[in-house]
Amino acid sequence: MRLSGAFPAPRRLVPALPPIAPPSELCSSCGNSCSGGFPMDFRISRRAALAGSALALPFIRSAAAQQTLEFVAGSLGGGWYTMAAGVAALVRDENPEIQIRVVPGGGLANPTRVNNGQSQMGWGIDAFTAAAARGEEPYKAKHERLRSLGTGYSPTEHNFLRRADGGPADMKAILTQKGVRIGCPQRSSTDEMTLQRILKFCGTSPEKIRDEGGRYLNGSYNDIAGAFGDGQVDYLYVALAKPAAILTEIGQGRRAAKLVAFPEDVRKHLIDTYAYNQGVIPAGTYPALQDADVPVTTMDSVILVHDTLPEPVAYAVTRTLIKAKGARLTQIHASMGAYDPAVAWKYAGVPLHPGAERAYREAGVMQG
């Protein structure tokens, strides 16, 4: 079905706005824009979630008065940041009046940041976003201002990488050995929260690792990849959609590495307890890092927006994404080729934004 003729021409929504800020303008110490980053010991409080109404006031205005939209993504060097920048460019090309500025973020922090109105848009993880809406662990208050533009934008694999020149090859044996040195993203990320859940299931923790002489290193994707290459850590845990540039680069680097399979009981525990999913990294995805299919834990990406985002803006962004499904989105990131508008609108973790609903209905993929 040709979607290019399925929509009316977009209306002019906002005046021309400044270009997206380059990464060099972001705070080098926190990795976020200095207008509101999250601390490394991130914990979502009821007070933070309920502050949304006050912080959202600048956004409660007509579409004609909208400022540049802020899209909170993932760490610099990660797939989310790349995909958000690509979406911003795509939307700008189709709707010159809509400008989107991308800033780094994290899967745990993003729902609260959007709910509080600090960013009008953001990436979320399906299971964690649903938990935020309900006020369940790790969130302490219901996030009632969240809306979505759909899901399925980027199925994401959890990747566990080990040194190839020695040591155990089994996930549990690796994580419970004394002196283990492992790197993972910042504490405000779903990667790190998931690793902590796995560690707990295996009877250990970051504190125990450190107490037994090991190392539990938190940093950006680029930082921990560099630490692995330099021999500062022997294992990496990252949640990145395939093909992840950092894993491809490690496979081409000077230090040999291999992907570690997620044991069946670990995958089942994460599914039954926290609503994750499972899948495989097909053989050949990272030729230097695997010899066969690798079973892993997976999750999927949701585009979150604040409920005060004007309906015409949400409509235009969603309409643009629907039109771009397939080859155009795949050009941004290979994982975005999985986006299927006929399924995307069905995500029930948070309500679909009315503007997105209009776009899906006009595309003929949403009935009822």
**Domain ends where: 299, 332, 354?**
299
Is 87 exposed, middle or buried (CB count within 10 Å of its CB: 0-12, 13-18, 19+)? buried
CATH number for the domain that contains residue 267: 3.40.190.10
**3-state class of 246 per DSSP?**
helix
> Which of 268, 62, 259 lies closest to 163, judged by CA?
259
**Domain ends where: 299, 328, 350?**
299
Mean pLDDT for 321-341 is 96
Same domain, 338 and 238: no
Query: pLDDT by residue (tens digit) across 227-273?
Result: 999 999 999 999 998 989 999 999 999 999 999 999 999 999 998 88
Do residues 202 and 262 touch, judged by C-beta distance below 8 A? no
* 218 domain residue, yes or no: yes
Q: Binning pLDDT at 50, 70 and 90, where does residue 77 land? A: confident
> 250 is in which domain, residue-wise?
156-299
**3-state class of 201 per DSSP?**
helix
DSSP string, 167-199: S--SHHHHHHSTT-EEEE--TTSHHHHHHHHHH
Mean pLDDT for 328-338 is 94
Same domain, 229 and 321: no
How many folded domains does the chain comprise?
2
Query: pLDDT by residue (tens digit) across 106-150?
Result: 889 999 999 999 999 999 999 999 999 999 989 999 999 999 999
Query: pLDDT by residue (tens digit) across 150-189?
Result: 999 999 999 999 999 999 999 999 999 999 999 999 886 8
Do residues 105 and 122 touch, judged by C-beta distance below 8 A? yes
Per cent of the chain over pLDDT 70 is: 82
Q: Binning pLDDT at 50, 70 and 90, where does residue 207 land? A: very high
Do residues 198 and 278 touch, judged by C-beta distance below 8 A? no
pLDDT at 303: 98
Helix, strand, coil percentages (3-state) for the chain, rounded to 5, are 40, 15, 45
Same domain, 68 and 195: no
Same domain, 288 and 168: yes
Same domain, 150 and 216: no
pLDDT at 46: 52
Mean pLDDT for 36-40 is 34
**Domain ends where: 273, 299, 325?**
299
How far apart, in whole angstroms, are the C-alpha atoms of residue 310 and residue 313? 5
